Structure 1
Amino acid sequence: MSEHQSNEPTLHEKILNLYSEGADDVEVAALLNLPEKRFKELYEENSGFAKVVDIGRTKAAAWWHHVARRNLVTKGFQGSTWAMVMKNRLGWRDRVDVLETNESTQKSAELEKEIQDTMARIQNKSPAQFRQIMGGDDD
């Protein structure tokens, strides 16, 4: 055992500490003085490195979730900014529901009948208004 043990964190610890503060892969790549492309290659090539990165990514995601949980009731918390960050960092998407049907909710014939019935009621109750709607002269 070495006589002089350093209290300096290991590179592994530095990486996990950075992720624990919400950092992403680009920030870790910068810590390692690696271009982002090489960082990704190293992740694919080295299972040990990939394991550290996977643990780190989980820690970073947890940090961002914690930010929201801790601050949701805090006056001045910018929830929309946080949500945008989460969308960009974690690939979140706004939910869009699309109703797909083979037929429209109202067939055009049904809609046309409804319009005709409405116009007939207007004509019976207010002939002058009906003529005005239809573009005719008002007597």
Structure 2
Amino acid sequence: METKFKDFYDILVENLESFNGEYASFIDYGPQLFKLLSDLLGYEGLKSQLKLKISAAIAYYVVPMDVIPETVYGAYGYIDDIFITTYVIRLLADVYGYKFLENYWEGEDDLEDVVELCYERSKDVLREKTTDVLNYVGLI
């Protein structure tokens, strides 16, 4: 019998597909933002320092006990993941521009609008914990 393994993106989609909580307006973008970073790692011209930052953000998604763990807080535990993802995407946009990043974006909404919404909303929720999140993976 052949076992079909799920991609982590599929697991994120599954975890969040029925979420209708207070922060659903931006938490729902989590899987698409994760996929964007994952797909960007395949860009051969990506600067090594940015690859490390992308890798740190991707790793943050899969660490079970991060600053706000999903195993404890459910879907709300993705708020810190979304923060670090959008933090890194904004760094990438500063270097490559959103027009370039859109080549890797599979979402239907405007990438820059999504990133800014998710960044600002997650930052508002996390407040001083944003520093904890960035310290966790060594981005500051």
With structure 1 as the length reference, what TM-score do the two structures score? 0.26
Higher helix share: 2
Q: Between Structure 1 and Structure 2, whose CA radius of gyration is higher? A: 1
With structure 2 as the length reference, what TM-score do the two structures score? 0.25
